[in-house]
Amino acid sequence: MSSSPTRSLHRFANPGQFLRLSGAILPYLSVAALVTMAAGLGWGLFVSPADYQQGDAVRIMYVHVPSAWLASAGYTGLAVCSVMSLIWRHPLADLAAAEISPVGAGFTALCLATGSLWGKPMWGAWWVWDARLTSVLVLFFLYIGHIALVRAFDDPTRGYRAGAILALVGVVNLPIIKFSVEWWNTLHQPASITLTGAPAMAPAILWPLLVSAIGYTLVFAAIVVARTRAAVMERRIRALLMARAASEGGA
């Protein structure tokens, strides 16, 4: 396992290296994130055409779909950090996992809220218990559970360990969310954009959606990087304070 590729990967995940590297990247990442998101949302909300069936209500999609994508993608990131934490006991992965889950929970809440606002005028219901909606609600609870569990122990290491196990158990929900609309009858429609086959979406609607999705993804990344930097620094300050208290107590 300690072959050279993994070792070199760990060199980048070293907390000191991470602070230097992320400090250099973060300003550019933040600006790119805000510009792309503003461009995507402006294009989608004000310029793009209304849908032939749904009219202007289709514009909720430019917020709903990117946040839904990040709800799942963020959880995938959380799962990757949890694997690194459980197998390689990597301290930076612990910190990143704890910082991803509140952001992921926020985007999942945004996805559920905008979905509800879209559902009422189009379907005729704020909420239905179909497989897609229910599995996304479960994802939201998994995020909330992870946030609470990581912070529930006096010894942070035990919290990170328990959180990582919870996060990995929850991974089983990701394919259920993705394929719920294909496996079972649902009120929610199937995916419009697939890896195979042409998107069932006119280019005038597809492009602003893709730009929005990239913008949201960059925003998510920027928030997580900034939060993880803060967590690394907080940990260093705590270590310094404890060292000072120990030396004063000894003197």
Partner 1 sequence: MTRKRRRLYVLLACAIGLGSATALVLTAFSDNLVFFVSPSDLATKAAPGRTLRLGGLVEQGSVQRTQAGASFRVTDGAKSVAVTYAGILPDLFREGQGVVTLGTLNADGTFKASEVLAKHDETYMPKEVAEALKKSGQWKPDGGTK
Is residue 201 near partner 1 by the rule CB under 8 A?
yes
**Residues 51, 64: Cα–Cα separation, whole Å:** 16
What single DSSP character describes residue 51? B
Phi, psi of 55, rounded to the nearest 5 degrees:
65, -140
Q: Which of 113, 152, 169, 242 binds partner 1 (CB under 8 A)?
A: 169
Is residue 81 near partner 1 by the rule CB under 8 A?
no
Is residue 192 near partner 1 by the rule CB under 8 A?
yes
Q: How many CB atoms lie within 10 A of CB 170?
A: 20
In the complex, least distance from residue 215 CB atom to partner 1, rounded to whole angstroms? 19
Using an 8 Å Cβ cutoff, are 211 and 43 in contact?
Answer: yes
Q: Which of residues 17-76 bind partner 1 (CB under 8 A)?
A: 49-54, 58, 61
**Residues 177, 72: Cα–Cα separation, whole Å:** 8
In the complex, least distance from residue 172 CB atom to partner 1, rounded to whole angstroms? 5
Is residue 210 near partner 1 by the rule CB under 8 A?
no
- Hunting for tokens 């559902």 — which residue is that? 119
Q: Give the binding site for partner 1 (CB under 8 A).
A: 1-2, 49-54, 58, 61, 83, 86-88, 121-125, 128-131, 168-169, 171-172, 176, 183-187, 189-192, 200-202, 204-206
